[in-house]
Amino acid sequence: MKNISLALCCALLLCSCGKRIAKIETVDIVPLPASVQVSDGVFDLKKSTRICLLSDDSMLNYSVNLLNGLLDKSFGKPLAAVRADEPQAGAINIRLSDLAPEEYTLSVKPEGIDIAAGGPAGAFYAVETLRQLLPVAVARGERAGVIELPAVEIADKPFFAYRGGMLDVGRHFFDVDEVKTFIDILAMHKLNRFHWHLTEDQGWRIEIKKYPELMNTGAFRPCCSLAPDAQQPDSVPYGGYFTQDQVRDIVRYAGERFITVIPEIELPGHASAALASYQQLGCKGEGYGVENIWGVKENVYCAGKESTFEFLEDVLSEVVELFPSEYIHIGGDECPKTRWKECPYCQKRIREEKLKDEHELQSYFVQRMEKFLAGKGRRIIGWDEILEGGLSETATVMSWRGTEGGIAAAKMGNQVIMTPTTHCYLDYYPTKNTENEPQGIGGYLPARQVYSLDPYAGLNADEQKYILGVQGNLWTEFISEPDHAHYMLLPRLAAISEVGWSYDNEDRNYDDFKKRMTTLAERYDAAGYAYGKHMWTEDDAAQTAAQQQ
């Protein structure tokens, strides 16, 4: 009997679930934490290790879920999470302390792991950092009995409050699971805002109960996916939309990852899908269709008719019920004034409101929507065109046509999010050699250039206070597949994240980032995320060539 149990024990020790997975060789964390001190020794993480919650906050469960999601495949079961009054030896102890809400410390010692955070978000970020301390084999889901973690002391907090990623689901539709994967990628990079571009000329993507034609007509274009090659249109209707239940599910999913979803409902331009659904919303009142082809369209909402504002107020009333975000994005970009110049209703509005021109009419439009949203306790973000014709004192500007609009807005005392095409447009080609690349919209935006974004450039200390943060944008004219989306996002989103999180860290530099990214890229591989694998070497070659000139 004794011999049989001994044999069984040996067999268990030898089986793959008893395997010890060695600690990572170097501690490479992206974005760069404020301080990292590595020492000798390891903590042995086992399936019997307990997570001890020392503070009573149900949102700490999001950190428990994240950690268990990371370990699930290796251990085959979740770690037990318990409430405790005192830190426990050999456990992962998580407690809330008097740090800032997103700030944390993470201590890994042979005797145990201690996480202290100012709020549940900080604890979540500590676990995201812990993810990067796990051996890559664990990210690949290898079975383990013991996972070694390196002894390390980390202290960390984000520099910018707003660290965002935008996904355009108007040009190409990404379903609920695909949007959730986008959110997972934001969370992995400790980004905290998901800007969801929901309405476009080529498709209306959110259910509005009061206006069913937005879903019947506006959500579908007559033809076609158009990606990857816009030159070869097919004749297959293309589209889709998110039901309000699906929107709620996505908002909840993001919230569990400490990501606020900011919906964008475009106005007064990029409105063809809405006009196609309700023809009276346009100046002419007829002849509108959902657009098949990209570009800036002259058909925009009529700014003269009261019915336009009634429609948009109804739409926004449903939107604010779905999104708890303080900010609602109202677009404001690329609104040609051609129709307004010809429209008797718009011209009457200009006269009656004593406006100087159509630019002031746009400002009237945006400010009227801003007042409506303010009445619902919300604030607006608009693209930098909202500066034209007069900016309200309370609007937040998203600077995309360079940083100039953002600089002007900050000098006026308006809040700003920096997302210039020069550094943040992730639909641009990541390399110069585009022959074998997945299609980009054009341009050339290597990771090195993204990394060099300086959101404070051109601003004095007083003005810098108005810079809320940074954002990477993924427009999808030429991107219809998740793999393509991820390829364009990664690793450039990591560079945005490092600017957003570690802007003031004196040790931050691109070569070190690149070294740390080598390990993060292995984690992308493990997660199955496509990314620009060759980007680093080509980028180096370009840099060397530039230096030699």
Shortest Cβ 313–Zn ion spacing (Å)? 17
Measured CA to CA in angstroms, residue 403 lies from 287, 292, 299, 413, 457 at distances of 38, 31, 28, 15, 9
Among 44, 249, 333, 463, binds ligand ACM (CB under 6 A): 333
- Count, residues near ligand ACM per rule CB under 6 A: 4
Choice between 153 and 333, CB closer to ligand ACM: 333
Residues 15-54 that bind Zn ion (CB under 5 A): none
Q: Does 111 bind ligand ACM (CB under 6 A)?
A: no
Please choose, out of 55-63, 90-98, 268-276, 297-305, the segment that lies near Zn ion by the rule CB under 5 A: 297-305
User: What are the helix (H) ranges across 305-452?
Assistant: 306-322, 338-342, 344-352, 358-374, 404-411, 421-424, 447-451
Residues in contact with 193: Cβ distance below 8 Å, sequence separation at least 6, in sequence order = 162, 163, 164, 165, 259, 260, 262, 469, 471
Shortest Cβ 296–ligand ACM spacing (Å)? 8
Choice between 49 and 399, CB closer to ligand ACM: 399
Q: Does 304 bind Zn ion (CB under 5 A)?
A: yes
Shortest Cβ 108–ligand ACM spacing (Å)? 43
Choice between 333 and 538, CB closer to ligand ACM: 333
Choice between 19 and 401, CB closer to ligand ACM: 401
Q: Does 309 bind Zn ion (CB under 5 A)?
A: no
Choice between 304 and 469, CB closer to ligand ACM: 469
Output the CA torsion sign for 190, 257, 250, 268: negative
196 binds, among ligand ACM, Zn ion, none (CB under 5 to 8 A by kind): none
Under the phi-then-psi rule, with left for phi > 0, alpha for psi from -120 to 50, and beta for the rest, what region is 143? beta
Residue type, 74: S
Residues 385-424 that bind ligand ACM (CB under 6 A): 400
Contact between 391 and 334 under an 8 Å Cβ cutoff? The reply is no
Binding mask 255-284 vs Zn ion (x if CB under 5 A, - otherwise)? ----------------------------x-
Contact between 394 and 381 under an 8 Å Cβ cutoff? The reply is no
Q: Count of CB atoms within 10 A of residue 447's CB?
A: 24
Residues in contact with 391: Cβ distance below 8 Å, sequence separation at least 6, in sequence order = 363, 397, 409, 412, 414
CA quadruple 306, 312, 313, 319: dihedral, nearest 10 = 180
Q: Does 383 bind ligand ACM (CB under 6 A)?
A: yes
CA quadruple 224, 227, 232, 236: dihedral, nearest 10 = -20
Shortest Cβ 304–Zn ion spacing (Å)? 4
For ligand ACM, which residue has the nearest CB? 333
Shortest Cβ 417–ligand ACM spacing (Å)? 12
Among 51, 116, 346, 490, binds Zn ion (CB under 5 A): 346
Q: Does 334 bind ligand ACM (CB under 6 A)?
A: yes
Q: Does 278 bind ligand ACM (CB under 6 A)?
A: no
Contact between 360 and 350 under an 8 Å Cβ cutoff? The reply is yes
Residue 122, H or E segment: helix 120-131
496 binds, among ligand ACM, Zn ion, none (CB under 5 to 8 A by kind): none
Q: Does 312 bind Zn ion (CB under 5 A)?
A: no
Shortest Cβ 107–ligand ACM spacing (Å)? 43
Choice between 69 and 287, CB closer to Zn ion: 287
Contact between 397 and 376 under an 8 Å Cβ cutoff? The reply is no
How far apart CA 174 and CA 128 sit, in angstroms, is 25
φ/ψ (deg, to 5) at 308: -60, -45
Shortest Cβ 334–ligand ACM spacing (Å)? 5
Identify whether 120 is preceded by a cis peptide bond (ω within 30 of 0).
no
400 binds, among ligand ACM, Zn ion, none (CB under 5 to 8 A by kind): ligand ACM
Choice between 400 and 501, CB closer to ligand ACM: 400
Binding mask 124-163 vs ligand ACM (x if CB under 6 A, - otherwise)? ----------------------------------------
DSSP letter, residue 78: P
Shortest Cβ 335–Zn ion spacing (Å)? 12
334 binds, among ligand ACM, Zn ion, none (CB under 5 to 8 A by kind): ligand ACM
Residue type, 218: G
Spatial CA neighbour of 238 closest among 171, 288, 178, 177: 171
How far apart CA 256 and CA 149 sit, in angstroms, is 26
How many alpha carbons fall within 13 Å on the CB side of residue 135? 21
Identify whether 31 is preceded by a cis peptide bond (ω within 30 of 0).
yes
333 binds, among Zn ion, ligand ACM, none (CB under 5 to 8 A by kind): ligand ACM
Binding residues (CB under 5 A) for Zn ion: these are 283, 302, 304, 343, 345-346
Binding residues (CB under 6 A) for ligand ACM: these are 333-334, 383, 400
